[in-house]
Amino acid sequence: MTHARQHHIQVVAHRGASEEAPEHTLAAYKKAIEDGADALECDVRLTADGHLVCVHDRRVNRTSNGRGAVSALELADLAALDFGSWKTKEARDAWQTREEDPDWEVRPEDREETSVLTLERLLELVSDAGRRVELAIETKHPTRWAGQVEERLLALLKKFGLDAPASAAESPVRIMSFSARSLHRVRAAAPTMPTVYLMQFVSPRLRDGRLPAGVGIAGPSMRIVRSHPAYVQRLKRAGHQVHVWTVNEPGDVDLCVELGVDAIITNRPRAVLGRLGR
């Protein structure tokens, strides 16, 4: 069953097309663009030598064949790891062959597909997409690099001419965080940059639909939306957009449509687009 959109809902690929490809890899983001996603979501962390990389967890243990905290590793350390074989048989076979035969060569473009992804490389991918693809960049906190993450992020966006949009509505980039302090730093340095306050639960002081000062977009979890659908209406009445994560099931997509949310963040961009009749 599909139904036509009652209004335009942006479909955001959560860590790329992460159900079909290893999360936060070039392969996952290429697949999301190919599937027609309107935007790409990524988490960023700062390495020990000052590079922003797309990794969700504080440590690399779950999504790579290495161990350790991202903040304690340099980019070269991360680049030596496999971020793909935990997810796909093809990547496992490639890495196993590499380990068994030291002389076996992997094409650089194949290695790049499941190596650690820098935010700079992701920005290059988006700029070469051939159509408008937006980016939703989440800063991860707490971190030993508090403050430096936002500083480096805005500096990198400036390199691509994305740090000072004419208005929030025109910006192809938005910055998200569960940390109101992180969003405050962004707003202080880049007042027109749109920001999203992510929520795993609704703070009592925000139940009336308010958000932290200067933030215009709410990012409630799907669990909040299921349990408290009226909260979405309060957010909308307060003038805020609502971007919901992580929406994977058809019934949840339908509920988001019914409630009039503005963006659906999903591991399954192709399936959600189909559900929306696109």
**Could you tell me the pLDDT band of residue 111, with boundaries at 50, 70 and 90?**
confident
pTM for the whole structure:
0.91
Q: Are 190 and 154 in contact (CB under 8 A)?
A: yes
Question: What pLDDT sits at residue 106?
Answer: 46
**Could you tell me the pLDDT band of residue 93, with boundaries at 50, 70 and 90?**
low
Half-sphere exposure of 18 (CA within 13 A, CB side): 23
Q: Are 244 and 261 in contact (CB under 8 A)?
A: yes
Question: What pLDDT sits at residue 88?
Answer: 65
Q: What is the CATH number of domain 10-58+117-275?
A: 3.20.20.190
Q: List b or e across 25-43, with b for residues whose CB sees 16 or more CB atoms inside 10 angstroms.
A: bbbbbbbbbebebbbbbbb
- Per-residue pLDDT of 112-152, as tens digits, reads 899 999 999 999 999 999 999 999 999 999 888 889 999 99
The closest of 258, 254, 250 to 232, measured between CA atoms, is 258
Domain ranges within the chain, ordered by starting residue: 10-58+117-275
Report how far residue 263's alpha carbon sits from residue 252's, in angstroms, rounded to the nearest whole number: 13
Active site residues: 14, 56
- Per-residue pLDDT of 170-212, as tens digits, reads 999 999 999 999 999 999 999 999 999 999 999 999 999 999 9
Q: Are 141 and 177 in contact (CB under 8 A)?
A: yes
